[in-house]
Structure 1
Amino acid sequence: MKIGYRTIKTAIGTPVAISIAQLFGVTNFVTAGILTILCIQPSRKKSFLSAWHRFFACVLAILFSFIFFETLGYNTLAVGLMLLAFIPTAVFFKITPGIATSSVITLNLYSAASMSVGFILDQFLLIIVGIGTALLLNLYMPSLDKDLKEKQDKLEINFKIILNEIAIYIRNKNVSWDGKEITETEEVLEVAEDLVERDRENHLLRNKHPYRDYFKMRTRQFELLQRMLPLVSKLPNKDSISEKIAVFFDDLSESVQPENTAELFLDELEQLRKDFNQEELPDTREEFETRANLYRLLTEIEDYLLIKKKYKKSDIKGRTGNKNIKN
């Protein structure tokens, strides 16, 4: 079982926060540990937002507690009414993540049955220690570049296999492929999207992410590959155009590498269209439907290539593009 960084930070931060609170001699020092647990987040951005929500909510809770407890007394009815007023207010200010944290402070005040200046200062110290410890720990976030590169490499392999299997099927209607790469690709894209978002939130001053466009491009291309599969299954067993399309998919499979360019394949696709238009007109309904499916397939392939062209600059004649984005 793998232990994540968030678990390690929680295990370190909780006792540290409690120890610091004890050193300051504040009451309810375990509250500092609870605040640290609640503030440990998977990214720097979420950590800062979490800290702000919880600090604001705690300050608001202290104010509401003072009003309700000092007015109605330290009893359970006052606690209920206080929460009835506080929670909608927290929702209004969009600090709902801080409700649980502030409830701990509220219960501390309730159990103390006192709202002295000294005790309120104790609570503020607990808030600062607990939230501050979590923020310091969350300044360190492990790099996700290795994980993102692994997802990229896996996608490249799967795309090659899918394109190659399409070519094989067009030639001999081979149905032995189990299609596991389709499911794997869906999972990889989903995980990669989450990793990119987390990595973006760990770099608060970086506007663009080097892998974001790549995975966005692959997601759109994968959608087109899924739409191609039913069309491929309807192609005839023996047909000159079908064989040329099979060769095209073979070449496309081998081209899932940086040095290949979409422009070259778009030119080849244009030639395929010309060959397609030179074919004799269909005589039967079945031949007409086959021809229509071939035309739709060529359109899907063109869209597949145009997506790549949109996200990556041409590599032809010295023009360079994003190194992370491949054909």
Structure 2
Amino acid sequence: MSVFQKSIKVILVTWIAVQIATFLGLNYPSSAGIIGLLSLLDTRRSTLLTAKRRVLSMTSAMLAAILCFSLFGLNIWAFGLSMAIYIPLAYKYEWDIGLSVSTVGVFHLLDTGSLALPVILNELGLFAIGVSLALLANIYMPSHQKEIIAARNRVELLLKGLVLRFHHILATGQSSDEVHRIQQLEKEIQTALELVYRDQSNQLFQRTDYEVHYFEMRLEQCHYLLQMVEDIQHCHFSAEESLILAQLFKDTAQQLEDKSTPIHLIDRIDHYLQVFRERPLPKSREEFESRSFLLQIFRDLERFIHLKVQFHQRYPQDQLSDD
């Protein structure tokens, strides 16, 4: 939601709450506007949760105040005692978000000097108006689905480009700042995750963790890319080994946007791992290190692909529509 939309919503909720309280002839009508303003948060879920806590907070504060004022009279000492009862409960049960509003309500009882039913109903009415309008105002929350789909497409495009870069490095021996590219992709994924979490907070009933798991899967794949690029840069492979790896990275890149599970690639990697394990033992330290790096890259690439396999096994049908 834009700053302009949010500002308009806050202004309208505050103004309408005051007008309704005034129309109903309630005392302290501005309090209804303040309650509405404080209850209006960025997402549906946070607004609903806050409203629930404010209701519990207000209820406990009023009950404590009525008890203390009835026993010890309407004075500041009884007020202090009621707060001594209410405040620890509010913090213990996480109702403290309604502490200020509830305290103002109790102050109104003290200021009025009466515990008559109309006075108590006045405070409850102010509270109900403010909270209800905040909840109504947050019925409308713009969906971020189109932005999430666009972010997914960007991530897949960047990831595919990175994996193809691995193919290029192995095929030509030329590399550039791949680490920086991967870090930029990680930032893109983190931004997308923040968008997904925000969108989830506006879904009260129909929730899915699909998008969260999707971007988390891509983020974990980035970690394997970082490991593989470091291994590639620290060793020299034979022409045959470079060709095999280059082709595997190329095939992996081609299936990144494919909704099928690339199990065949895992089978190929397992085959190559077996082939290289059965080769004669290295005769020098350099050969030993190269063999070790080679096997590690195969294993990391296998894990990289396996992440997507696991994801598609968990979500057999793609749940993000491009509509």
Question: Is this contact kept in 2: 1:258–1:323, CA < 8 A?
Answer: no
Q: For residues 272 and 16 of structure 1, what CA distance do their matches in structure 2 show?
A: 70
Given the two structures, how large is their TM-score scaled by the length of structure 1?
0.85
Aligned position for 1:105: 105
| Equivalent in the alignment of 1:322 | 318
Rounded Cα–Cα distance in structure 2 between residues aligned with 1:242 and 1:80: 78
What is the 5 A alignment of 1:173-192? 174-177=174-177, 179-192=179-192
Per-residue Cα deviation, 1:267-316 (whole angstroms, up to 9, x for no partner): 332343244235443111122122111111111111111111111159xx
SS at match of 1:12: helix
CA root-mean-square deviation = 2.8
What one-letter code is carried by the residue in structure 2 that aligns with 1:105?
A: G
Quote the Cα distance in structure 2 between the aligned partners of 1:39 and 1:52: 10
- SS of residue paired to 2:3: coil
Deviation at 1:260, TM superposition (A): 5.5
In structure 2, how many angstroms separate the alpha carbons of the residues matched to 1:264 and 1:4?
A: 51
**Is the 1:171–1:237 Cα contact (8 Å) retained in structure 2?**
no
Q: What does residue range 254-265 of structure 1 map to in structure 2 within 5 Å?
A: 254-258=254-258, 261-265=261-265
2:304 is matched with 304
- Pair 103,164 (structure 1): closer, same or farther in 2 beyond 3 Å: farther
1:1-327 equivalence runs, <5 A: 2-3=2-3, 5-72=5-72, 77-172=77-172, 174-177=174-177, 179-236=179-236, 238-258=238-258, 261-277=261-277, 279-313=279-313, 321-322=317-318, 324=320
Offset of 1:248 from its aligned partner?
Answer: 1.8
Q: 1:173–1:237: 8 Å Cα contact kept in structure 2?
A: no
**Percentage identity across aligned positions?**
26
Gaps of 5+ in 1: 315-319
Whether the 8 Å CA contact 2:167–2:246 is kept in 1: the answer is yes
Contact 1:17 1:129 in 2 (8 A): yes
Q: Tell whether the 8 Å contact from 1:170 to 1:235 is kept in structure 2 after alignment.
A: no
Which runs of 5 or more residues in structure 2 are unaligned?
Answer: none
| Higher alpha-carbon deviation: 58-67 or 237-246 | 237-246
Contact 1:57 1:98 in 2 (8 A): yes
- The question of whether the paired residues in 2 share the 8 Å contact of 1:200 and 1:206 is answered with no
